[in-house]
C-alpha cells in the first residue's frame, strides 16, 4: 500500500464517531446492531477509497448506514404481480384472503391455545385444530399438516418406506422450482427409488413387474411443472392403487397444488384433486397449502388413519411442525373452501384464476385510456397466463395485458420493480407487458399510478 493510500484511509471516521451520528437508529434497533452495520459499511468504504473514491465524513457514512437499514426493512414490502403467473414462487406464491390474513394477525399478537384442549385443559395436539376441516373437505379418514409439501412427502416416505424401495414412474421424476428433486427427496427419506417405465410411457404392467420383496410403497407425483407432449401413456390412480393394494402396499399421491375437489367450472380440469385421489384409492395424498389452496405455506397429508397416526408419531414431525400463524391462516382458508362459490369469490388465487377474460379486458381498457392520456404508448393485448407454482404448465389461462412500448424495456422493467409499490411485469418482444390475470382488481389503481410515474420518467424522446 502506498503512503498516500494509507493517509487517505487514516482520514476515514472512526466507528464511534459514526455511531454518535446514529443515536435515533440505536434507539430503534439497538447499539450493537448499529455498530455491526457501521463496521461492515466502513470495510466496504475502505475498498472504495483504495479504488480512488473520496473519503466520506462521519455524517456521510451514517447516512449510508441509515439508507441500508431502510432498504433492508423494506425488502419484503408488498409488490404487484403483473407477470401473469398467478402462483409465482419468487413472489411468495398465494396472497391470502383478508380473513386468513386477519386470523394470522390475531394469532400473531396474542397467546392462542395451540397445544391445549380447551374443554379438558389438558395438552392437545396442534394438528387437532385443522384435522376436522381437512377430513370434511377431502373425505379423508385422517389428516395432518407440516411446514411445506416437500417436507410432508419426506415425512410420509420416512414413515412408511424407510429401508425399502419406492416405485415411481420415470415420467414423474420431476424437479420442481429448481430445488425439489424427487430422487433426492426419496433418498433423504431413507428409502430408495425404483424407477418404472420410460419417460413418456409407463404401463400398469411395468409397475407390476417392478414390485419386489423390498418394495414398501408406490408413489405417484403430479408432474407439475413440465408437460410431455405427444405420445404419452400413464396409469390411472385407481388402477395403480388397486395394484398397490393387491401387494398390500400403500399408494402415495403427491398432487402438488392442493385442489381440494374437482373444479366444477372446468378451468382447472387438468389438476388432480385431493377428494378425487382418495376416492380413487390413494392411501395418502400430499399437497401444498400455498398453491391452489390459496393459503399459507404448508404441507398437508390426508388419508388412511393408521398411516397418518404413524406419521404424526415420527420424530421428523417435530422438526417440520407448523407454527400458530400457519395454523390460523390455514384454518381460515379451509373454512372458506367449504363453499366452492365463496372460495372462488374470497380467495385471491381462485378469484384470479376464475376471473372472466371480459372482466380483465374492461379493466385493461380503463387503465390503458389513463396511460394514453399521459402520452404513454400503451395498448390492450391478449396474453397467455399460467397458474404457476409448479402446477401444470399445460394449464394455460387465457388472459389480457397492457403492453407498453419503450426503446429500453429492460430499463423500464427495472424502474417498475423499484417503484412504490414495486411492479413485476414481463418483457415480451420489446415491450413491457402487465398481465392482469395475476393482479387483484383492487390493485389496478396503484398499478396504474406506478406505470404513469415510471413510464413518463423515462428520458424525453425515449417513448415513441
Ligand atoms: C410444489 C410441489 C411440491 C413442493 O411443495 P412445497 O409446498 O413447495 O414444498 C411437491 N410436489 C409437487 C407435485 C408440487 O407441485
What are 264-315's pLDDT values in tens digits? 898 888 889 999 999 999 999 999 999 999 999 999 999 999 999 999 999 9
Which sequence spans correspond to the domains of the chain?
A: 3-72, 79-91+351-457, 98-346
Structurally, what CATH architecture does the domain formed by 98-346 represent? 3-Layer(aba) Sandwich (3.40)
At 202, is the pLDDT very low, low, confident or very high (cuts 50, 70, 90)? Answer: confident
For residue 124, report the distance from its CA to the centre of ligand 1, in Å: 29
Lowest mean pLDDT among 70-74, 170-174, 272-276, 287-291: 70-74
* Nearest Cα residue to 397 out of 410, 384, 382, 380: 384
Contacts of 139 (CB under 8 A, 6+ apart): 275, 278, 279
Q: What are phi and psi of 459, to 5 degrees?
A: -50, 145
Between CA 304 and CA 291 the distance in angstroms is 23
At 394, is the pLDDT very low, low, confident or very high (cuts 50, 70, 90)? Answer: low
According to the model, what pLDDT value does residue 456 have?
85
According to the model, what pLDDT value does residue 200 have?
77
Between CA 321 and CA 188 the distance in angstroms is 18
Pocket of ligand 1 (CB under 6 A): 148-150, 176, 180, 221-222, 224, 254, 256-257, 288, 299, 390
Between CA 334 and CA 136 the distance in angstroms is 10
**4-60 pLDDT tens trace:** 888 889 999 999 999 999 999 999 999 999 999 999 999 999 999 998 899 999 999
pTM score, two decimals? 0.86
Q: Please provide the CATH number assigned to the domain covering 79-91+351-457.
A: 3.90.1150.180
Residue nearest to atom 6 of ligand 1 (CA): 149
Residue with cell 421428523: 316
Contacts of 76 (CB under 8 A, 6+ apart): none
Locate the ligand 1 atom nearest the alpha carbon of residue 289 and give its number: 7
For residue 390, report the distance from its CA to the centre of ligand 1, in Å: 7
Amino acid at each position: 500500500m502506498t503512503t498516500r493510500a494509507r493517509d487517505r484511509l487514516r482520514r476515514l471516521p472512526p466507528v464511534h464517531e459514526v455511531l454518535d451520528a446514529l443515536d435515533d437508529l440505536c434507539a430503534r434497533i439497538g447499539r450493537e446492531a448499529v455498530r455491526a452495520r457501521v463496521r461492515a459499511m466502513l470495510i466496504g468504504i475502505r475498498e472504495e477509497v483504495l479504488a480512488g473514491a473520496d473519503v466520506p465524513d462521519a455524517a456521510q457514512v451514517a447516512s449510508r448506514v441509515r439508507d441500508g437499514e431502510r432498504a433492508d426493512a423494506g425488502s419484503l414490502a408488498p409488490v404487484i404481480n403483473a407477470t401473469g403467473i398467478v402462483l409465482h414462487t419468487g413472489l411468495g406464491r398465494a396472497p391470502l384472503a383478508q380473513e386468513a390474513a386477519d386470523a394470522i394477525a390475531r394469532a400473531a399478537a396474542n397467546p392462542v391455545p395451540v397445544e391445549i384442549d380447551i374443554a379438558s385443559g389438558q395438552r392437545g395436539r396442534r394438528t387437532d385444530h385443522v384435522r376436522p376441516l381437512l377430513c370434511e373437505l377431502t373425505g379423508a379418514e385422517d389428516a395432518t399438516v407440516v411446514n411445506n409439501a416437500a417436507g410432508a412427502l419426506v415425512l410420509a416416505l420416512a414413515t412408511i418406506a424407510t429401508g425399502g424401495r419406492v416405485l415411481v414412474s420415470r415420467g414423474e421424476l420431476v424437479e420442481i422450482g429448481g430445488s425439489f428433486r424427487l430422487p433426492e427427496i426419496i433418498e433423504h427419506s431413507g428409502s430408495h427409488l425404483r424407477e418404472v417405465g420410460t419417460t413418456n410411457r409407463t404401463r400398469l404392467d411395468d409397475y407390476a413387474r417392478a414390485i419386489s420383496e423390498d418394495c414398501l410403497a408406490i408413489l405417484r407425483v403430479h408432474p407439475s411443472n413440465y408437460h410431455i407432449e405427444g405420445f404419452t401413456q400413464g396409469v390411472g390412480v385407481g388402477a395403480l392403487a388397486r395394484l398397490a393394494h393387491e401387494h398390500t402396499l400403500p399408494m402415495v399421491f403427491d398432487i402438488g397444488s392442493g385442489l381440494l375437489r374437482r373444479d366444477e367450472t372446468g378451468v382447472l380440469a387438468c389438476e388432480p384433486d385431493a377428494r378425487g385421489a382418495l376416492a380413487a384409492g390413494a392411501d395418502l395424498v400430499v399437497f401444498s397449502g400455498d398453491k391452489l389452496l390459496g393459503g399459507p405455506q404448508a404441507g398437508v397429508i390426508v388419508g388412511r388413519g393408521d398411516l397418518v397416526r404413524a406419521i404424526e408419531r415420527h420424530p421428523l414431525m417435530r422438526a417440520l411442525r407448523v407454527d400458530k400463524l400457519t395454523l390460523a391462516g390455514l384454518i381460515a382458508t379451509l373454512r372458506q373452501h367449504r363453499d366452492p362459490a365463496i372460495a372462488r369469490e374470497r380467495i385471491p388465487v381462485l378469484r384470479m384464476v376464475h376471473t372472466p377474460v371480459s372482466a380483465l379486458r374492461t379493466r385493461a381498457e380503463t387503465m390503458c385510456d389513463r396511460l394514453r392520456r399521459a402520452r404513454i404508448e400503451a395498448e390492450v393485448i391478449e396474453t397467455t397466463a399460467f397458474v404457476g407454482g409448479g402446477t401444470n404448465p399445460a394449464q394455460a389461462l387465457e388472459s389480457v395485458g397492457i403492453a407498453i412500448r419503450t426503446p429500453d424495456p429492460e430499463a423500464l422493467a427495472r424502474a417498475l420493480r423499484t417503484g412504490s409499490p414495486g411492479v413485476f411485469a414481463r418483457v415480451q418482444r420489446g415491450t413491457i407487458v402487465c398481465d392482469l390475470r395475476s393482479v387483484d382488481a383492487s390493485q389496478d389503481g396503484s398499478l396504474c399510478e406506478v406505470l404513469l410515474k415510471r413510464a413518463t420518467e423515462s428520458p424525453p424522446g425515449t417513448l415513441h
